[in-house]
């Protein structure tokens, strides 16, 4: 329960589309930029403006010190104002006045001359009632630059006052209200413009990020399909950047993975086949040993028993001893036949017995087999029917074909019942010849037919033992026909069973 609770306490990772992340990042940067601009304007623009005005006032002081001042004949003073000074004062919003040490005006420029003169007198004779409220920005032996608040004008100024030579005082002033208004206007302007930029940029970023993230989304889908072993999907977008290279690498990786997995599956199938083949071979080896042991156990026991009887003279009757010897010879013959058949089958299955393809008359071959088996046919009281108008030529190994026919006829004789008829037929089928051997008797159970061609398989074991069969004959037929690359089989009828095989037609048709 503790582990389960721990798993439940883990928060699922939230998924945020890349397109939204990029859009949120850019819009956030725009908002941050707008905020920073507003903050910098509010905190530092006025100070920056004052520092610049300080430089302007210092320049204006130098210009005033260079004025050409003279005394008139009536005792008054006058000065010539250069056009450059007029222009500079107007552009930089400067008002100034120059007066003698005894309060006589020499020259003034700007509005409120009387107010400037009164303030200058207050500074010159230390009569300023706002003293202590000024903020000194710069001070030298001849002038002072300061920030003041004029209670009469209800405005803040940056001004400079001092002496020109030993006879004159000057006062230069510029208002700060303009910069404060500019800061307010600038911030309002930045706010509205910033909102418009954010809206337009947000729309543009949303469209652009769709173009940027579409290839990435395609790669994401492609990687998911690859993880599900679907290699048909391919990267097809064209972003014109490194994403295309990544997509091409994905395509190559998809092809390589498909090829590798195909090779692995093929190798796995081959390995599986090898394992199954090994298991089948081991099983066949065990079955073979069991079957051989079973087939040899009875004749060996009989040979051993009758041989011991002869040695111990159990019966002194010559006929009994002859019977014992016949049994020993018969069982030895059966064992010899079994061993020979096993050797033949082994050579056929391993392909060590070469197939000598030749053209021969199958009719003559069948008649030769029937002639050699005439005694057995008579013993079984069989009625053999075989009719052929003339020779029928085929292509095959004549010796092995004779063994097939012999096995079929012998098998038919051993399972003959009822009317005891055997019918051998040769039928031409296009480029092939079909040879069949039919015998009357009990049909083979359908469940046993697929196993008839297996080594040591016997439908009726007691009957097979009775005529000395080992269950290898049909396995030899199977091996021979497969070495010929021909067909073979068995077919049940109501009154009997037919075994057949095919050979290539050798008549030249």
Contact present, 307 and 328 (Cβ < 8 Å): yes
Nearest CA-CA partner of 61 in 85, 28, 33, 87: 85
Nearest CA-CA partner of 377 in 329, 424, 442: 424
At residue 464, the pLDDT reads 45
Handedness of CA 179, 183, 189, 194 (dihedral sign): positive
At residue 13, the pLDDT reads 60
At residue 465, the pLDDT reads 46
Give the helix, strand, coil percentages of the chain, each rounded to 5: 55, 20, 25
At residue 126, the pLDDT reads 76
Tokens 């069948």 map to which residue?
Answer: 366
Residues written for the chain? 509
pTM (2 d.p.): 0.40
In whole angstroms, give the CA distance from residue 366 to residue 2. 86
Contact present, 251 and 228 (Cβ < 8 Å): no
pLDDT one digit per residue (tens) for the chain, 509 residues: 444 444 544 555 666 676 677 777 777 887 888 788 777 777 777 788 788 888 988 988 988 888 888 888 887 888 888 888 888 888 888 888 998 888 888 888 877 777 888 888 888 887 766 655 678 889 898 899 998 887 776 788 888 999 988 889 999 988 877 666 666 777 777 777 778 887 887 788 777 777 777 777 777 777 777 777 776 667 666 766 677 777 777 777 777 877 888 788 888 888 888 888 788 777 766 655 555 555 565 567 666 676 777 677 766 677 766 777 777 776 676 666 666 656 665 665 555 567 788 999 999 999 999 998 888 899 889 999 998 888 999 999 898 898 899 889 988 998 888 899 999 999 988 889 999 999 999 898 888 888 888 766 765 544 444 544 456 778 888 888 888 889 999 999 989 999 999 999 877 55
């Amino acid at each position: 329960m503790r582990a389960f609770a721990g798993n439940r306490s883990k928060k699922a990772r939230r998924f945020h589309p890349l397109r939204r992340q990029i859009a949120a990042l850019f819009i956030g940067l725009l908002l941050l930029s707008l905020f920073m601009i507003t903050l910098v304007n509010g905190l530092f623009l006025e100070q920056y403006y004052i520092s610049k005005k300080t430089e302007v006032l210092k320049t204006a002081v130098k210009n005033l010190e260079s004025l050409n001042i003279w005394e008139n004949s009536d005792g008054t003073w006058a000065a010539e104002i250069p056009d450059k000074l007029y222009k500079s004062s107007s552009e930089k919003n400067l008002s100034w006045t120059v007066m003698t040490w005894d309060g006589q005006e020499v020259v003034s420029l700007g509005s409120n001359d009387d107010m400037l003169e009164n303030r200058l007198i207050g500074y010159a004779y230390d009569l300023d009632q706002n003293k202590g409220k000024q903020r000194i920005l710069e001070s030298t032996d001849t002038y002072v630059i300061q920030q003041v608040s004029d209670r009469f004008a209800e405005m803040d100024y940056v001004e400079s006052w001092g002496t020109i030579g030993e006879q004159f005082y000057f006062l230069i002033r510029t208002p700060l209200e303009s910069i404060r208004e500019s800061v307010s206007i600038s911030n309002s302007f930045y706010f509205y413009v910033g909102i418009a930029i954010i809206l337009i940029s947000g729309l543009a970023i949303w469209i652009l990020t769709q173009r940027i993230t579409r290839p990435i989304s395609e790669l994401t889908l492609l990687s998911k399909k690859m993880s599900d072993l679907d290699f048909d999907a391919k990267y097809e977008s064209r972003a014109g950047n490194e994403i295309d290279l990544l997509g091409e690498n994905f395509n190559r990786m998809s092809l390589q993975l498909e090829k590798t997995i195909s090779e692995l599956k093929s190798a796995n199938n081959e390995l599986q086949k090898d394992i199954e083949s090994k298991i089948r071979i081991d099983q066949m080896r065990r079955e073979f040993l069991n079957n051989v042991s079973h087939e040899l156990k009875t004749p060996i026991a009989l040979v051993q028993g009758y041989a011991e009887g002869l040695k111990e003279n159990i019966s002194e009757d010559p006929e009994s001893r002859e019977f014992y010897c016949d049994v020993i010879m018969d069982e030895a013959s059966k064992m010899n036949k079994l061993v020979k058949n096993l050797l033949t089958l082994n050579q056929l299955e391993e392909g060590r017995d070469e197939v000598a393809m030749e053209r021969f008359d199958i009719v003559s071959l069948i008649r030769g087999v029937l002639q050699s088996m005439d005694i057995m046919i008579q013993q079984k009281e069989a009625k053999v029917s075989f009719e052929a108008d003339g020779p029928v030529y085929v292509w095959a190994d004549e010796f092995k074909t004779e063994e097939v026919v012999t096995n079929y006829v012998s098998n038919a004789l051993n399972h003959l019942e009822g009317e005891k008829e055997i019918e051998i037929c040769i039928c031409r089928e296009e480029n092939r010849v079909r040879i069949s051997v039919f015998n009357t008797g009990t049909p083979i159970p359908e469940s046993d037919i697929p196993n008839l061609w297996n080594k040591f398989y016997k439908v009726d074991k007691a009957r097979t033992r009775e005529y000395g069969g080992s269950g290898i004959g049909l396995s030899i037929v199977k091996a021979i026909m497969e070495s010929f690359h021909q067909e073979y089989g068995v077919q049940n009828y109501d009154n009997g069973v037919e075994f057949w095989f095919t050979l290539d037609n050798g008549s030249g048709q």
